[in-house]
Structure 1
Amino acid sequence: MAAAQLDYVHIPVPFDTPGESHFDAFAKAMAKAAGEPVHVHCIMNWRVSAFVYRWNRLCGMDQEKARALMHVQWDPASSEHKDAAAWAAFVNRA
């Protein structure tokens, strides 16, 4: 990745316990990349959608628009996944 002049930031987030320290690391990485293309990924895209939702809100995006973007991938509030409640709470802290 370095040869391609790409930065890589690994932020391990346990699926059952997303926390503020994880979001703080994400926000720091996003701020560092300001103005540059960014690729954020997660094996299921659920963490990505929640983190990008919170980032969008932090940057001033309207809640309705930010939620609509998140819901393209996942809505933790209506998910039946066993860890969805932890993610709904994480999202609601935005």
Structure 2
Amino acid sequence: MNTLDSITNFFQILPTIATAGQPTAAQFEAVRETGFEVVVNLAMSNSDNALPNEVGVVTGLGMNFVHIPVVWTNPTPGDLAQFFAVMDGNRDRRVFVHCALNYRVSSFMYLYRVLRLGVDEEAARWDLLSIWEPDERWSTFIAEARQSAAKAATTNENRSFEQ
């Protein structure tokens, strides 16, 4: 019997959001049976354990599928913006987000929770570190995303004072 806990690095962040590594076709059935409506894949289609025709498997089970292929060695602000837009657009739905091992996802989810949902940074970091400790490239990406968001917030505050 496949359960969500059988999926590599499965982590339930909120009742409406769960993250994991790459599920099998049978595990996607468990995702659907648990009430998830949207599947977001941040892995590349040619990842070592990618599921052939994942879009067909997921949509065949009645779930929506979104693919944001994030290059492991080069996550970009554009990837993150696209992820934020998908998550923001599905706040009223149950969303299952995965990549190959839940490393990309846990990093993006950390940023989403801190920058968009206003979750305490320490709590979000604790959850991130329960999955993995980001390497230098990913630590730099996370720090740059937080700095960019802080700079944008300061710029917006200054604009409101000028008006």
Pairwise TM-score range, normalised by the shorter structure? 0.7 to 0.9
Partner of 1:79: none
> C-alpha distance in 2, partners of 1:25/1:2?
24
Unaligned runs of 5+ in 1: 77-83
1:15 aligns with 2:15: no
Deviation, 1:2, is 6.0
Partner of 1:87: 138
Pick aligned residue for 1:66 from 90, 106, 124: 124
Cα displacement string for residues 7-61 of structure 1 (whole angstroms, at most 9, x for unaligned residues): 2110011101111000001001101111211000011110011000000011101
TM-score in terms of structure 1 length: 0.85
Q: 1:42 to 1:3 in 2, by over 3 A?
A: closer
**Which segments of structure 1 move beyond 6 Å, counting only runs of 4 or more?**
none
Partner of 1:24: 81
SS in structure 2 opposite 1:72? Answer: helix
Partner amino acid, structure 2, of 1:44: L
Q: 1:34 to 1:2 in 2, by over 3 A?
A: farther
TM-score in terms of structure 2 length: 0.50
Instruction: Give the count of matched residue pairs.
Output: 86
> C-alpha distance in 2, partners of 1:42/1:2?
20
> C-alpha distance in 2, partners of 1:29/1:88?
23
Partner amino acid, structure 2, of 1:90: F
Partner of 2:43: none
Greater helix percent: which structure? 2
Task: Quote the sequence identity (%).
Answer: 33
Unaligned runs of 5+ in 2: 1-58, 147-163
Structure number with the bigger relative contact order (C-alpha 8 A, sep ≥ 6) is: 1
> C-alpha distance in 2, partners of 1:67/1:3?
33
Larger radius of gyration: 2
